[in-house]
Amino acid sequence: MTGRLAGKVAYISGGATGMGGAASALFAAEGAKVAIIDLNIDAASERVEEIRRVGGQAVAVAADVSDEHAVAHAVSEAEKAFGPASVLFNHAGSIVIKPFLETTVEEWCRFALN
């Protein structure tokens, strides 16, 4: 594949859906080999299939980026697939969409303290 990112390896956290998913598709369209690191492995796998259908190269790796060991494992898996990263795009994030007073302690701790 040719493009501005030909020969590059991109690791994209949160790269399965939304803007992260769009970035994964764009980076692949520009020639990068894309490692999609996402908590939602089903969505990440779907994005990989979409990329492969149009001739790109991608791999899905499950990881919670708030877990240091999960990230280390994800990077190891991405390196096995494509080699070390030359591009990093960190898009992983979380949001609780509900009124503040309805937010549980567990939700607050999960998203505010990590």
What pLDDT does residue 112 have? 58
Q: What is the CATH number of domain 9-112?
A: 3.40.50.720
Q: 77 is written with which tokens?
A: 């898996």
For 5-48, what is each residue's pLDDT tens digit?
999 999 999 999 999 999 999 999 999 999 999 999 999 999 99
Domain ranges of the chain: 9-112
DSSP calls for 5-67: TTT-EEEEET-SSHHHHHHHHHHHHTT-EEEEEES-HHHHHHHHHHHHHTT-EEEEEE--TT-
